[in-house]
């Protein structure tokens, strides 16, 4: 069933690509941050995305999103794989996130402490969930959807994530259809593909 | 005296059928040239992505906007992906046109789609071979199960098919290597289905062309390593492909010449002897024309391309091309219809997991319209599916962000089980391909136009395809079962069949019971083009058996001087 599994993988991978979104020209209230201002990604954008991703997947006993270079990964995916309108929505989403931080903590995301960042993203994610639940099919996805999906995809398909947080088995050599699983001990099994 | 353009046999195409033709013809003593339109891929050496981990792909195996732009047909389904894009034909160089939508996913390189196939391998049964005649649909098959049975055994012993012995009349057992294992959930669901339906329905391991035990004749192939990397070409030779299996055997005879980048544009027909003299080729890289000559020609270029070659040949005698005298050449296009079934959640196995990445799932053989049952449609369907634990890509509704989410997704989620049916499609004369001379490919050759659709019988069958899976899962105790009938266009099954069907009568068929073109007996067509009906099982194993059978027949006829020197009569 390799073909179906590949299909699932591709669906998972393109889940992030399917985000819709109309470009919404917001007023520029936070010029010094410059977040999401550029049509392409800058080094500071990557740093910003790294911090967003690290807040979603922080380093613990297992690697964090920065170890997996998720910020860089997001920019590659958005630039190469997203349709133009979704690219715009993503850039705009960065700005929205920064503005939301400004509103909550009176300064931009990069200046926020890890605790402030987490507080913000928990709130934004709650907003995302409510929005996604009530939106029509035609409505664009909530802007945070792409950040979260790309973080999960980028992390678990990275070398750091696979080797550090999963049971990575590139050459299992056998198949066993019934092995014990210990919750809290055993990890999800992954491989090369 | 033979020159370097003259052989005993020409094999057009190097995929599953072409590889088998080359092996069987050379092993029976013929000097053969196998012509492949695409580039060379050397076993192992050229599988440069076969050990590449996902993180070395910039888009982690996904698709870019540029790829979507460059591949207007391939983008319609999973084949458009970063992992094995180089194994799929270039849509821009090789376009086609659509009176009705047809998804045509092609492999133009040595080995063809034997490198990317799904490897599911099933015998047809007598029920399949007699269906047309019993139902009064299209035309009867000229051969039956007993004609093909020894050839199934012949190819299975060489290709290596893993599976379990089940003794089912609708799905005859193959000569098997040790079966891969159903996992714990699949086993329990299988037991519940079996008992509820009184052995009338069975859930078995999906039979595939993977090595799971000794294959003494092919020491270059080793057992499956359960990496789930088949689609990049297997460096272990663990699944059957031309490169892993038939090509080394053919090369070992010292009688095979392989010509890559050789697009066969037509068969050279000699009206005086009423036989084919050879083929005309365009070099895909230099555009240079070339001719090869032989006593027999095996067309194994994939179903629709073999017919395309016939349509381009001998048009001065038959405007519709070689083999068109019956009016059936290009007609009766078939594929399997699928993407229809059900899936759900399985409770109670949270302390169970599996180890390894198994390259197959389960199979539920056909149970409709057999044993005296009569539904409101003809024929039937089988299911392919699997049970597994959800991976890191799942939704965890109760968790927001942070270490808890990361830790949670680092563990497998709950179990799911699901399957899609693969349904038989009837042969309809009006489902056809034709030459579109207004559109040319990169080499200035006319392209195919598609006019194919699924009809009422398929639509009615899909009602059962959806409902039966839902019912079986619910009976097995699966929770939150959801059925679906998804996006499905002809071609998407990548099981193209028909367009040069076999038959008993030259007035209604293109090929006879030995795969010979009625109008030109030294041309054999043994790929999907020859199929008179579609069954519901994956067709590749049948092409292997059909090709081996026709090759043995062709060599016998050559020895008896029945072909070429004096033309065979009907």
Q: What is the pLDDT of residues B315-347, one digit of tens each?
A: 999 999 999 999 999 999 999 999 999 999 999
* Nearest-Cα residue of chain A relative to residue B82: A10
Does A159 contact B53 at a Cβ distance shorter than 8 Å?
Answer: yes
Q: Which of B83, B356, B361 sits opposite A174 (nearest CB)?
A: B356
Element (H, E) at B371: none
Answer yes or no: is pLDDT of A92 > 50: yes
3-class SS of residue B431:
coil
Mean pLDDT across chain B = 96
* Nearest-Cα residue of chain A relative to residue B51: A192
Task: Measure the CA dihedral B332/B335/B336/B339, to 10°.
Answer: -130
Closest CA of chain B from A31, distance in Å: 28
Closest CA of chain A from B398, distance in Å: 10
Q: What is the mean pLDDT of residues A103-123?
A: 97
Concatenating the DSSP letter of every residue in B17-82 gives: HHHHHHHHHHHTT--EEEE-SSB---TTTT-TTTT--GGGSTTTT---HHHHHH-TTGGGSTT-SS
**Model pTM score:** 0.93
Closest CA of chain B from A130, distance in Å: 11
Residue B327, number of CB atoms within 10 A of its CB: 12
Q: Which of A10, A58, A159 sits opposite B78 (nearest CB)?
A: A10
* Nearest-Cα residue of chain A relative to residue B360: A1
Predicted pLDDT of residue A14? 36
Query: Please, which pLDDT band fits residue B283 given cuts at 50, 70 and 90?
Result: very high
Answer yes or no: is pLDDT of A10 > 50: no
* Nearest-Cα residue of chain B relative to residue A154: B60
Closest CA of chain A from B65, distance in Å: 5
Answer yes or no: is pLDDT of A20 > 50: no
Question: pLDDT by residue (tens digit) across B427-483?
Answer: 999 999 999 999 999 999 999 999 999 999 999 999 999 999 999 999 999 999 999
Assess: ipTM above 0.90: yes
Show residues of chain A in contact with B83, CB under 8 Å: 6, 193
Q: Which of A81, A153, A192 sits opposite B64 (nearest CB)?
A: A81
Predicted pLDDT of residue B282? 98
Q: Is the four-CA dihedral B312, B315, B318, B323 of positive or negative sign?
A: negative
Query: Please, which pLDDT band fits residue B566 given cuts at 50, 70 and 90?
Result: very low
CA distance B116 to B224: 16
Predicted pLDDT of residue A34? 63
Predicted pLDDT of residue B397? 82
Phi, psi of A65, deg, nearest 5:
-60, -30
């Amino acid at each position: 069933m390799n073909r179906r599994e590949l299909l699932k993988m591709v669906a998972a991978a393109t889940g992030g690509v399917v985000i819709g979104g109309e470009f919404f020209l917001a007023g520029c209230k936070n010029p010094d941050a410059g977040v999401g201002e550029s049509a392409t990604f800058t080094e500071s954008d990557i740093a910003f995305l790294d911090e967003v991703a690290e807040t979603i997947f922080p380093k613990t006993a297992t690697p964090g999103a920065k170890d997996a270079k998720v910020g860089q990964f997001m920019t590659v995916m958005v630039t190469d794989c997203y349709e133009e309108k979704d690219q715009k929505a993503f850039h705009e989403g960065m700005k929205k996130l920064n503005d939301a931080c400004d509103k909550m903590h009176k300064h931009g995301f990069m200046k926020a402490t890890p605790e402030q960042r987490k507080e913000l993203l928990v709130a934004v994610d709650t907003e995302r969930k409510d929005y996604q639940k009530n939106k029509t099919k035609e409505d664009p996805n909530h802007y945070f959807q792409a950040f979260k999906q790309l973080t999960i995809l980028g992390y678990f398909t990275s070398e750091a994530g696979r080797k550090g947080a999963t049971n990575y088995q590139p050459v299992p050599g056998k198949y066993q259809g019934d092995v014990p699983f210990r919750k809290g001990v055993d990890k999800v099994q992954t491989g090369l593909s | 005296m033979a020159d370097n353009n003259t052989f005993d046999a020409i094999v057009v195409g190097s995929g599953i059928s072409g590889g088998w033709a080359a092996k069987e013809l050379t092993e029976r003593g013929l000097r053969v040239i196998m012509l492949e339109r695409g580039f060379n891929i050397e076993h192992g050496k050229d599988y440069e992505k076969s050990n590449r981990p996902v993180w070395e792909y910039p888009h982690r195996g996904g698709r870019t906007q540029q790829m979507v732009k460059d591949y207007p047909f391939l983008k319609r389904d999973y084949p458009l992906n970063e992992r094995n894009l180089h194994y799929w034909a270039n849509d821009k160089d090789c376009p086609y046109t659509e009176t009705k939508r047809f998804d045509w996913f092609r492999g133009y390189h040595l080995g063809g789609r034997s490198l990317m196939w799904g490897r599911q391998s099933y015998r047809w049964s007598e029920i399949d071979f007699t269906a047309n005649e019993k139902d009064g649909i299209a035309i009867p098959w000229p051969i039956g199960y007993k004609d093909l049975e020894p050839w199934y055994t012949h190819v299975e012993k060489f290709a290596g098919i893993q599976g379990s012995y089940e003794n089912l009349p609708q799905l005859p057992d193959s000569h098997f290597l040790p079966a891969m294992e159903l996992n714990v959930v699949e086993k329990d669901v299988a037991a519940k289905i079996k008992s509820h339906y009184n052995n009338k329905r069975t859930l078995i391991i999906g039979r595939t062309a993977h090595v799971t035990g000794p294959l003494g004749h092919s020491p270059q192939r080793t057992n499956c390593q359960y990496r789930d990397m088949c689609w990049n070409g297997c460096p272990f030779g663990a699944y059957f492909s031309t490169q892993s299996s038939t090509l080394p055997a053919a090369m070992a005879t010292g009688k095979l010449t392989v010509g890559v980048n050789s697009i066969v544009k037509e068969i050279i027909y000699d009206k005086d002897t009423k036989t084919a003299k050879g083929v005309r080729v365009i070099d895909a890289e230099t555009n240079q024309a070339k001719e090869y000559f032989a006593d027999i020609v095996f067309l194994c270029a994939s179903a629709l391309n073999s017919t395309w070659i016939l349509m381009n040949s001998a048009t001065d005698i038959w405007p519709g091309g070689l083999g068109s005298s019956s009016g059936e050449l290009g007609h009766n296009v078939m594929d399997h219809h699928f993407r229809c079934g059900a899936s759900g959640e399985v409770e109670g196995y949270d302390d169970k997991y599996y180890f390894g990445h198994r390259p197959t799932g389960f199979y539920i053989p056909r149970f409709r319209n057999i044993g005296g049952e009569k539904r409101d449609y003809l024929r039937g369907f089988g299911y392919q599916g699997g049970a597994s634990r959800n991976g890191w890509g799942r939704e965890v509704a109760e968790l927001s962000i942070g270490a808890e989410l990361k830790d949670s997704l680092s563990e497998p989620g709950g179990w799911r089980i699901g399957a899609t049916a693969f349904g038989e499609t009837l042969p309809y004369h009006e489902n056809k391909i034709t030459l579109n001379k207004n559109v040319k490919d990169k080499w200035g050759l006319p392209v195919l136009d598609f006019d194919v659709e699924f009809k009422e019988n398929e639509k009615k069958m899909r009602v059962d395809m959806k409902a039966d899976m839902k019912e079986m899962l619910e009976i097995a105790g699966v929770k939150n079962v959801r059925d679906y009938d998804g996006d499905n266009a002809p071609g998407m099954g990548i099981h193209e069949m028909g367009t040069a069907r076999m038959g008993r009568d030259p007035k209604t068929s293109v090929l006879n019971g030995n795969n010979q073109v009625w109008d030109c007996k030294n041309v054999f067509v043994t790929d999907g083009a020859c199929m008179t009906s579609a069954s519901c099982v994956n067709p590749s194993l049948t092409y292997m058996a059909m090709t081996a059978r026709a090759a043995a027949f062709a060599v016998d006829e050559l020895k008896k001087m029945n072909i070429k020197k004096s033309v065979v009569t009907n």
